[in-house]
Each structure stands twice: as C-alpha cells, then as structure tokens.
Chains A and B, each alone.
Chain A
Amino acid sequence: AQSVTQLDSHVSVSEGTPVLLRCNYSSSYSPSLFWYVQHPNKGLQLLLKYTSAATLVKGINGFEAEFKKSETSFHLTKPSAHMSDAAEYFCVVSDPASGGSYIPTFGRGTSLIVHP
C-alpha cells in the first residue's frame, strides 16, 4: 500500500526567500512522484514529476524536487519565492496497485503563504 505525508499544513515565507515544502512517501515499489499546485478557485496543475529517471527534477516556475530513496522523501524547493507562488501544493505518489492499475494517492496539501 502506498501513502504520502506532507509534513506541514502551512508554510509562510517572505517574498524573495527560499521555499521548502516537505513530502515523505511510503511505497512497496519504485513509485512515481508528483507535485501539483492549486491556485485559489482553480483546478490542480502539474508542477513536476519523478518517474525513475534523474533524481533531481526541475519543474515549472523555478520549482524543483529531489527524490531521495533512502529518506523516502520528495521535497519541493524554490530558491526565491514570488507572490504568485501563494497556493496549495499537493504531493502525490503512484505505484502499481493490485491488478496492475496505478491509482494516485494525494497528500493533504500544504498551503504556501508569501508575505511581501
């Protein structure tokens, strides 16, 4: 069975400072991992994904995440926050379920607050 834990429900940063959103996962297989972003009153949009290639994954808007198998982590980072980064961020794990299908499991989300 797979699971994902986002360690912070809220993260508050000042504009121009680094962002770190933490995600730990549990999987019996080699999982695929995703980060999605949800801006207010919008649907979710893919930021980046890891699918067993390079462990450091670069996404849109300057975000990146590093897959660390030994730590079962997939933390999301950005060197310098922008006001437009304020949103809800979801970490997602996906590995083969019974029958061979892949059902993604979403974390509870981390709300990123950016102060001017």
Chain B
Amino acid sequence: DAGVIQSPRHEVTEMGQEVTLRCKPISGHDYLFWYRQTMMRGLELLIYFNNNVPIDDSGMPEDRFSAKMPNASFSTLKIQPSEPRDSAVYFCASSLLSTGRDTQYFGPGTRLTVL
C-alpha cells in the first residue's frame, strides 16, 4: 500500500491567494482527518470525515478554511484567501475506524508558506 498521499509537499504563495491541499487516504479507510502543525500551537485537528461526510469541523480556524471529500479516495483543504499566519505543515491522516483504538496513518504533510 502506498500509504496516505498528500500533494503538494511544499507550497509557497502570497497573501490573498487561494491554496488547495490534496489528500488521498489509504484505500478502505473510512475516516479521514486534517491536522495543522505549528511551533506555537502544536498539532491541531481541523476537521474529520466519516464515509466522506464531515463529522466535526470545530477545529477549522475560520471561514477562510473549507474542506471537502467528494469521494472515498480524495479530499481537499482549501484556504481562501490565505494569510501569513496560515503558514504551517498540514497533515492528512486516515484510519479504518474511529473507535478510539484505531491507528491513524499520516501522510508526509504539506508545508505551506504564505508570504
């Protein structure tokens, strides 16, 4: 299995531009999670999906952030417009279940820099 795939690995953009991050979860996993990692705040859960349906988006920082999962093999996290404070590493993770005992498999992350 190729694991969780994220693209791009690095993104540099200017303030005000739209940014789209992409994720392909492991085949057969029903849950998909988006995280943001910064030095100041550590690892934060932004949103998670179950069977392509958003379950909890309370971690999404503001309306500039949106996430979709149009099918079981693809999800996007969009920031529009982007701001310098959005600079972070964004991780996508997937798990087979979410009973609390399940391993999350993380992608390599997308390092976003907003100038």
Given contacts A101-B55, A101-B56, whether A46 and B45 have CB atoms under 8 Å apart is: no
List B contacts of A104 (CB < 8 A).
45, 100, 104
Question: In the complex the two chains form, is A43's CB within 8 Å of B109's CB?
Answer: yes
List B contacts of A45 (CB < 8 A).
106
List A contacts of B85 (CB < 8 A).
none
The number of residues on chain B lying at the interface, defined by a beta carbon within 8 Å of a beta carbon of chain A, is 20
Count of A-B contacts with CB under 8 A? 52
Contact of A90 among B43, B56, B93, B105 (CB under 8 A): B43
Which residues of A in the span 97-116 have a Cβ within 8 Å of any Cβ on B? Answer: 101-104, 106-109
Asked if B4 CB lies within 8 Å of chain A CBs, one says yes
List A contacts of B99 (CB < 8 A).
102
Given contacts A43-B91, A43-B109, whether A32 and B100 have CB atoms under 8 Å apart is: yes
Contact of A44 among B91, B98, B100 (CB under 8 A): B91
Shortest Cβ distance from B52 into chain A, in angstroms? 16
Question: In the complex the two chains form, is A49's CB within 8 Å of B100's CB?
Answer: no
Asked if B25 CB lies within 8 Å of chain A CBs, one says no
List A contacts of B104 (CB < 8 A).
44, 46, 104
Question: In the complex the two chains form, is A44's CB within 8 Å of B55's CB?
Answer: no
Asked if A61 CB lies within 8 Å of chain B CBs, one says no
The closest CB in chain B to the CB of A52 belongs to B101
Beyond the given A90-B43, A103-B56, A106-B43, could you list 7 further A-B residue pairs with CB under 8 A, ordered by the A residue number? A43-B4, A43-B93, A43-B106, A43-B108, A49-B103, A51-B101, A106-B42
18 contacts between A and B (CB under 8 A): A31-B100, A43-B109, A44-B91, A46-B103, A49-B101, A94-B100, A96-B100, A101-B55, A101-B98, A102-B98, A102-B99, A103-B45, A103-B48, A103-B56, A106-B42, A106-B45, A107-B42, A109-B43
Chain A to chain B: the 10 pairs with minimum beta-carbon distance, closest first: A102-B100, A43-B106, A51-B101, A94-B100, A44-B106, A106-B43, A108-B42, A32-B100, A46-B103, A32-B101
